[in-house]
């Protein structure tokens, strides 16, 4: 079954004290295009994310985001060199100005640069195995949504193909009437010339073939959006030729109806992977 290109999936990820929300969404796009929104330092795993996403998606604009919602508390680091400097200056002050040496530990700790905090390092390469499992869950949810859209699109395009077949039958029927009427009022040479100029058998045959090919695509599992768009272009070309060869009112009306359906199929092809 074909797939659409609009989808969304998310999953909660946890690794030790780290918790994050992973989101994957996709929209229509002519090619495969991916954008990342990752925590600082996670750029090293972008290629791994891309390879994983491409196992689920062939075409579409994809966004993958990893939002850290909980991480280990910051670590406190004692700057011993700063403490030595402060104590050195304290001794100089006591000696030069004859001051009491009443420096307390609580006083030293409060001095600038003595205690520093730093973020706990999160190595993306170490975290990748657990993140990969969670990303699979998010992408599976996205894929399921794209499949549901694909079923809806397949039904819509299939309905238009059926309606096209009905219009083709109208054209064939009218073409037979036109030829029959022309035969009654024309000489053999005139009729043969007219018949040759308005012969649409080839166009009808090709148009019917393209409709059958499109039906096969809708039943397939591969990415078919571009192929369906190509077939619709070919349908449009054959339909235009039919209209040019048989400028009859009923035929023209059927041709207009055909072109309308083909245009809508082309629009839907932009939504199909």
pLDDT of residue 89: 83
Residues 47 and 81 in one domain: no
pLDDT of residue 17: 82
Residues 19 and 135 in one domain: yes
Residues 205 and 87 in one domain: no
Residues 112 and 218 in one domain: no
pLDDT of residue 58: 94
pLDDT of residue 233: 97
pLDDT of residue 74: 64
CA 196, CA 224: separation in Å to the nearest integer?
37
CA 220, CA 201: separation in Å to the nearest integer?
29
State the CATH number of the domain containing residue 256: 1.20.140
pLDDT of residue 121: 64
Which residues, 6 or more positions from 152, have their beta carbon under 8 angstroms from its beta carbon? 4
Residue 241 resides in a domain: yes
Residues 203 and 132 in one domain: no
Structural domain for 41, as ranges = 7-72+122-145
pLDDT of residue 105: 82
Give the end of a domain, one of 99, 130, 145.
145
Residues 175 and 246 in one domain: yes
pTM: 0.77
Residues 163 and 242 in one domain: yes
Residues 59 and 158 in one domain: no
Computed from CA positions of residues 258, 259, 264, 269, in that sequence, does the dihedral angle turn out positive or negative?
Answer: positive
What tens-digit pLDDT sequence spans the chain (273 residues)?
799 999 999 999 888 888 999 999 999 999 999 999 999 889 999 999 999 999 999 999 999 999 998 887 666 778 888 888 888 888 887 777 777 777 788 878 888 887 777 665 678 998 999 999 999 999 999 999 999 999 999 999 999 999 999 999 999 999 999 999 989 998 999 989 999 999 999 999 999 999 999 999 999 878 899 999 999 999 999 999 999 999 899 999 999 999 999 999 999 999 999
Residues 63 and 18 in one domain: yes
């Amino acid at each position: 079954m074909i797939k659409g290109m609009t989808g969304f999936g998310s999953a909660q990820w946890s690794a030790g004290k780290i918790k994050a929300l992973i989101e994957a969404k996709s929209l229509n796009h002519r090619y495969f295009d991916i954008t990342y929104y990752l925590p600082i330092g996670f750029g090293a795993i972008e290629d791994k994310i891309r390879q994983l996403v491409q196992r689920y998606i062939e075409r579409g604009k994809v966004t993958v985001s990893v939002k850290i919602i909980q991480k280990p508390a910051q670590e406190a680091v004692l700057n011993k060199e700063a403490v030595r400097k402060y104590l050195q200056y304290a001794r100089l002050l006591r000696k030069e100005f004859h001051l009491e040496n009443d420096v307390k530990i609580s006083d030293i700790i409060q001095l600038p640069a003595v205690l520093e905090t730093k973020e706990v390092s999160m190595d993306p390469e170490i975290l990748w195995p657990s993140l990969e499992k969670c990303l699979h869950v998010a992408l599976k949810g996205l894929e399921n949504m794209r499949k549901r859209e694909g079923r809806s699109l397949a039904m819509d395009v299939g309905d238009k193909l059926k309606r096209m077949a009905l219009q083709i039958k109208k054209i064939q029927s009218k073409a037979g009437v036109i030829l029959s009427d022309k035969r009654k009022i024309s000489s053999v040479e005139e009729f043969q010339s007219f018949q040759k100029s308005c012969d649409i058998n080839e166009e009808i045959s090709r148009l019917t073939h393209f409709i059958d090919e499109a039906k096969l695509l809708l039943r397939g599992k591969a990415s078919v959006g571009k192929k369906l768009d190509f077939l619709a272009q070919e349908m449009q070309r054959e339909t235009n030729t039919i209209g040019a060869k048989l400028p009859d009112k009923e035929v023209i009306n059927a041709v207009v109806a055909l072109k309308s359906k083909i245009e809508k199929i082309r629009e839907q092809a932009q939504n199909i992977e």
